[in-house]
Structure 1
Amino acid sequence: MLEIQNLTHAYADGHVAVRDVNLTVQDGELVSIVGPSGCGKSTLLRCIAGLIRPTEGRIVLDGTPADGVPDNLAVVFQDYSRSLFPWLSVRDNVALPLKRRGMSKAQRREAAMEALESVGLAHAGTKYPWQLSGGMQQRVSIARALAYRPSLLLMDEPFGSVDAQTREDLEDLTLKVRGSDGMTILLVTHDIDESVYVGDRVVVLGASPGHVRADLPVDLPGPRDQISTRELPEFVRLRAEVGRLVRGAGETAAVAK
């Protein structure tokens, strides 16, 4: 689904955010990306999304080198309050990107309501974003991405601005929609527990300039549960290993084959 080849990006002021990043993501995988603050996680995601043109290297999606913003990709940002249009209803916010699909107005509204139902917000279609809680607004953002039916979903610290209980609910929602739609997801997070709980793999970036320090497979049974999964010895072991790597301690793990 996704190949990142020797990707390097330096900003105009000379700061090198990421250097020589190589990463392959298989169709249907959910890959978590973690790393210390300032290691270039968001820069990497913006390069994949076509919002930034990398200084060196290339990105290949579905076997085709990416140039600009790919049509089969959607992004869920951390700041839901700035990614939703307050003057549009929830349903119309979700339906808006579907204009690019060439769908009729009726088709867009139907697809929007199906997506809202999948995230538990079928009752909120006629409301406005400012009438909803933060967690519900982020569900709207996820519904908008799902309605577009992307091959690849990028999530940039999407749960960082909500409370702990809502965060867990949104983690489970991500696993649910991934399972039902078979979507490929790349999730950037600063939360080590979250990276292990939702991921099939955890990719750890080293300190700036960002580089792949480790690529760890997550072998946890499903369906995952916020209580029982986090009590498993393998979960505890993995979160400790990821924590050591993020903090710069321990040996760099070999890239998983």
Structure 2
Amino acid sequence: MRTLIFIVAFLVTGLTASAAETKIMIRAKARDAKFIGSSLGGAHIIVRNKINRQILAEGNTTGSTGNTDLIMKGAKTRGTLITDPQTAGFLASIDISEPTFVSIEILSPLNNKQAQASVSTELWLIPGKHILGDGIILEIPGFIIDILKPRTHQYIALNSIKGKLFQFQANIVMMCGCVIDKNGVWNSDEIEVKGILKKDGQYLKDVILSLVSTNLFEGSDLLNTPGNYELTVYAYHEKSGNTGVDKVNYVVYE
């Protein structure tokens, strides 16, 4: 009996010992911009076994958005890294005993639900064969837009605004949190920002929003009649194909 127990224990120990730690660096990069890291709350990473959907690793990217010159301005040739040791990423450590086909899903930006996108890829992991350096980089398209004025479901007295220009405001950043400014790396002059106004469910007009300070866009228009209003603000960059949207509803009453 003792001999049988010893043999079983030996076999179990042998199976466990055959598993090898396999490291994989995973990064989320904003399209036409930098990496998503701690300053934006990170991107959420989930690594799953493709066959049984078991979660093998999960966590958030941490670190900096990276070196602007290296990412956005430097010449890129094969084998040239675009990250440094401080660049945001999530280092997954997975114990596997045989080649395993995995899926990697990224949800980002984690803390901005209206702009959150999901991207994924699939690949084979080989026991003990690490994927480091730049690692696996998944691209997140879009802009993060937060309408600041009017506020969601704000009630506005008609007599307080009638005959006056009502101001609309939106804060817009890249998906990595990188700033948008006039003549900056991300040039506001190249980005179309517009508000679409609806009243009582019917299209009313478009309102152009222009940059007034870093990331802050403003526009104005007359609101002369009461009703239930909806404002949709979008940003569009033709060169990169980046788009973003935010919406609010508000009420003008007599």
Q: What range describes the TM-score normalised by the shorter chain of this pair?
A: under 0.3
Higher relative contact order (CA 8 A, sep 6+): 1
Give me the TM-score of the superposition, normalised by structure 1.
0.22
- The structure with the largest alpha-carbon Rg is 2
TM-score, structure 2 normalization? 0.22
- Structure with bigger strand share is 2
